[in-house]
A and B are shown apart, each in its own frame.
Chain A
Amino acid sequence: MSLLQLNQVSKIYGDLRALDKVSLSVEKGEWVAIMGPSGSGKSTMMNIIGAMDKPSEGEVLLDGRDISKENAKTLTNIRRDKIGLIFQQFHLVNYLTAVENVMVAQYYHSIPDEKEALNALERVGLRDRAKHLPSQLSGGEQQRVCIARALINYPEVILADEPTGNLDEANEGIVLDIFRQLHREGSTLIVVTHDPEVAEVAQRTIVLEHGRIAREVVNENFVP
């Protein structure tokens, strides 16, 4: 059974079909990139996969459970328990330190554990920056805090929206190295990007155009 399965999923805004009968399967431990130009439906797909929005039509099965008809409260619980979110704009709480930003995710999930949060920061190479506020960190460092926050609750799926969109080349390399490491450890990664270099390092790339899957590319040169 696939970890994630989208069956004929559509999202309709008035006359606009942001997603149009999209079907997709993602296996556990797989690294999938979703590509496409602006307006192709990438973010809409991310919102639906990330349980932040519901489809207008079709079903979304996460770990065998249809989440397309769940209410807002249940979707919040699903995000909390099963999904780790990484954003292009990082979205860190600006008055909390790096370690506290990681602990916020623990707090809403279960019990905050500073030691565990520090370990998560160590995995992304930021143990020594734990007590710094976001304003005292570089863009790459902020994105790594965001990754540590996404990892902290051991989610079923790590969902990244343009994770390198605001980073320079050096930091992009660091983030992709972290993704490789996570993949080796068995994490399921779904990365939404418009950057071909980021898509190329994934196992499989789904290309969206006008809300439909235009093609699917399996990376023959994928290095686990």
Chain B
Amino acid sequence: MFLRMVKGAIFRQKSKMLMIAFTIALGASLATAMLNVMMDVGDKVNQELKTYGANITVVPQGASLLNELYEVEGGEAPVEQYLQESELGKLKTIFWAFNIVDFAPFMETNAVLPTGETVKAVGTWFDHHMDLPTGEQLDTGVVNLRSWWDVDGAWIDDQANPDIAQVMVGSSVAQAQGLSVGDVLHLNGTAATVDLTVAGIFESGDDEDDELFVPLSVAQALSDRAGLVSSIEVSALTTPDNELARKAAVRGPSSLSKSDYETWYCTAYVSSICYQIQEVITNSVASAVRQVADSEGAILEKTQLLMLLITALSLVGSALGISNLVTASVMERSNEIGLMKAIGAHDGAISGLVLTEIIITAILGGLVGYFAGFGFAQIIGHSVFNASIEMKPMIIPIVAILVILITLLGSIPAIRTLLKLRPTEVLHGR
């Protein structure tokens, strides 16, 4: 009989129950969308932030020490310390290999222009193709790491004919030397001279406008340092630092307990990724570009907090909506409830009946809301991040618990009203 009453209440009062289900669906869809986006926003925002350049630099051990001693920023390594170009592929073999999004080696050397002026020539990869030891293939270079450059002409194509050597000229140099795209530039290095065709003129907005960017092999030839690189820039997806990461950064990984060390090593903190890079690149020191890493962490945390607040607000709104609707529904049914009390139903039995009806409606509304919310998450993902939001299975129990909880909380005023109803008041209007 109980099920017949519940069934009758739900299916023979469709419009009323649909309205409650719709409110619950709305709340559940917002919660699902926001929670899915919140869980995925870390990766998505991280990906977005990677377009603003590298967050890890790798330099030879000696160079790092001297840079720290003399507070040298950038420039040519003060001592002849270099990394091996042949080891670059190992970056994609570390534990967090999939988090290494892009990287590029750099070899800096001085070259003399035809006018007699000395200019810094930076050799690097632009869009370098690699066949990795793992069997994977990778295209990486400054095309991705300097995506903000405003280029007149074209980027250097690493895959093009190596006989036609090219150069990208910083806007200040191009202006001073009167260079245009397609011009041929004669460069004198310490070990060789080369003729380079200007592929593009770039404007970076920083000191790089005073430099020339050439293929890595050209810079190595100019300085007679074949197979060597002076630094590597790495763009990696990282997890914002917490207490453990800060402890590891300040005191070193060796200060951590075994379990802390494992947690730290297996989490994509910028410090653990740096540590793993040092493990594979001989005599290297990898360090975070702290300003970038911290900003990324802060932006990520704030974005997640914002999402969490929106989720909480949407749930509160939903609970208020449910509360009003259920209370209105109970008031509308006061005659029926009064009658049930008059013929012998106790408060618990009636509350159980009303709650069961509402919970079943909530489950139906919650299911619709979940799928609608997942759809909303995809719309947000595509319109904001140009990517799909991954369905997180853990959202299902979270949303289910939230729906049941807000439905129960929203039903409290209605149940209180119901318990106060006296049969004489509703049956005789007194």
Chain A interface (Cβ < 8 Å from any Cβ of B)? 43, 47, 50, 52-53, 73, 76-77, 79-81, 85, 87, 89, 91-96, 100, 103-109, 112, 133, 149, 161
> B4, B344, B345, B430: which has the most chain A beta carbons within 10 Å?
B344
Closest A residue to B428 by beta carbon equals A43
B336 lies within 8 A of A94 (CB): yes
How many Å lie between the Cα of A112 and that of B1 in the bound state? Answer: 7
- Supposing A43-B430, A91-B335, A93-B336 touch, asked if A108 and B343 sit within 8 A by C-beta, the answer is yes
Q: How many A-B residue pairs have CB under 8 A?
A: 77
Query: Known contacts A91-B427, A108-B349; is A79 also within 8 Å of B344 by CB?
Result: yes
- Which B residues have a C-beta under 8 Å from some C-beta of A? 1-2, 4-5, 8-9, 12-13, 335-336, 338-346, 349, 422-424, 427-428, 430
A79 and B342 in contact (CB under 8 A), knowing A47-B428, A52-B424, A94-B336? yes
CB distance from B134 to the nearest CB of A (A): 65
Contacts of B12 in A (CB 8 A): 94-96, 133
Using known A-B contacts A47-B424, A87-B427, A133-B12, determine if residue A52 contacts B342 with beta carbons closer than 8 Å.
Answer: yes
- The one of A43, A93, A105 in contact with B344, judged by C-beta atoms closer than 8 angstroms, is A105
Using known A-B contacts A91-B335, A93-B336, A100-B8, determine if residue A76 contacts B346 with beta carbons closer than 8 Å: yes
B5 in contact with A104 (CB, 8 Å): yes
Contacts of B338 in A (CB 8 A): 91
CB distance from B344 to the nearest CB of A (A): 3
Q: Within 8 Å CB of A149, what residues of B?
A: 343
- Cβ distance B9 to chain A, nearest Cβ, rounded Å: 6
Chain B residues within an 8 Å CB radius of A91: 335-336, 338-339, 342, 427
In this complex, the member of A92, A108, A112, A133 whose beta carbon has the largest number of chain B beta carbons within 10 angstroms is A108
Option from A76, A77, A79, A103 in Cβ contact (under 8 Å) with B1 = A103
**Would B1 and A107 count as touching, CB distance under 8 A?**
yes
Chain A residues within 8 Å of B423, by CB: 52
Of the residues B8, B335, B344, B424, contact of A76 by C-beta under 8 Å: B344
Residue of A nearest to B337 (CB): A93
User: Whole-angstrom distance between the alpha carbons of A87 and B338 in the complex?
Assistant: 12
Q: Interface majority SS on B: helix, strand, loop or mixed?
A: helix
Q: Among B4, B335, B343, which residue has its beta carbon within 8 angstroms of that of A80?
A: B343
Instruction: Assess whether B346 is in contact with A73, with CB atoms less than 8 Å apart.
Output: yes
Report the bound CA distance from A220 to B428 in whole Å.
33
Contact of A85 among B335, B336, B343, B346 (CB under 8 A): B343
Q: Are A108 and B427 in contact (CB under 8 A)?
A: no
Supposing A104-B340, A107-B2 touch, asked if A96 and B8 sit within 8 A by C-beta, the answer is yes
| Chain A residue nearest in CB terms to B348 | A73
Contacts A91-B338, A93-B8, A95-B12 aside, 7 further interface pairs with beta carbons under 8 A come to: A50-B342, A52-B422, A76-B344, A79-B342, A89-B335, A103-B4, A107-B2
B194 → chain A closest CB, angstroms: 89
Q: A106–B86 Cα gap in the complex (Å)?
A: 87
- When A and B form their complex, which 7 residue pairs have the shortest distance between CB atoms, in order from nearest? A80-B344, A95-B12, A107-B1, A112-B1, A108-B344, A95-B8, A91-B339
Name the residue of chain A whose CB is nearest to the CB of B344: A80
Residue contacts A-B, CB under 8 angstroms, 17 given: A43-B428, A43-B430, A47-B424, A52-B342, A53-B424, A76-B345, A77-B344, A81-B344, A85-B342, A91-B335, A93-B8, A95-B9, A96-B12, A104-B5, A105-B344, A108-B343, A133-B12
Tell me how far the C-beta of A199 lies from the nearest C-beta in chain B, rounded to whole angstroms. 20
B13 pairs with A95, CB closer than 8 A: yes
Q: A112 → chain B, closest Cβ, in Å?
A: 4
Q: Kindly report which residue of chain B lies nearest to residue A103, judged by CB atoms.
A: B1
Residue on A with the closest CB to B12? A95
Q: Which B residues are CB-close (under 8 A) to A80?
A: 343-344
Chain A residues with Cβ under 8 A from B427's Cβ?
52, 87, 89, 91
Q: Once the chains bind, are A96 and B5 in contact (CB under 8 Å)?
A: yes
Whether A93 and B339, one on each chain, are in contact in the complex, defined by CB atoms closer than 8 angstroms, is: yes
In the assembled complex, the Cα of A103 lies from the Cα of B342 at a distance in Å of 15
Chain A residues within an 8 Å CB radius of B345: 76, 108
Chain B residues whose CB sits within 8 angstroms of the CB of A94 once the complex forms: 12, 336
* Interfacial chain A residues near B430, Cβ < 8 Å: 43
What distance in Å separates the Cβ of B428 from its nearest Cβ neighbour in chain A? 5
Q: How far is the CA of A100 from the CA of B423 in the complex (A)?
A: 20
Known: A43-B428, A91-B335. A105 touches B343 (CB 8 A): yes
Q: Which A-chain residue is minimally distant from B13 (CB atoms)? A: A95
A146 nearest in chain B by CB position: B339
Contact at A104–B343, with CB atoms within 8 Å? yes
When chains A and B are docked, how far (Å) is the Cα of A104 from the Cα of B342? Answer: 12
B1 CB contacts on chain A under 8 angstroms: 100, 103-104, 106-107, 112
| In the complex, chain B residues whose CB is within 8 Å of the CB of A81 | 344
Q: State the CA gap A77–B345 with chains docked (Å).
A: 8
B residues within 8 A CB of A112?
Answer: 1
Residues on B with beta carbons closer than 8 Å to the beta carbon of A79: 342-344
Shortest distance between the CB of B14 and any CB in chain A (Å): 10
CA distance A189 to B15 in the complex (A): 41
Give A84 Cβ to nearest chain B Cβ, in Å.
9
Chain B nearest Cβ from A98, distance in angstroms: 12
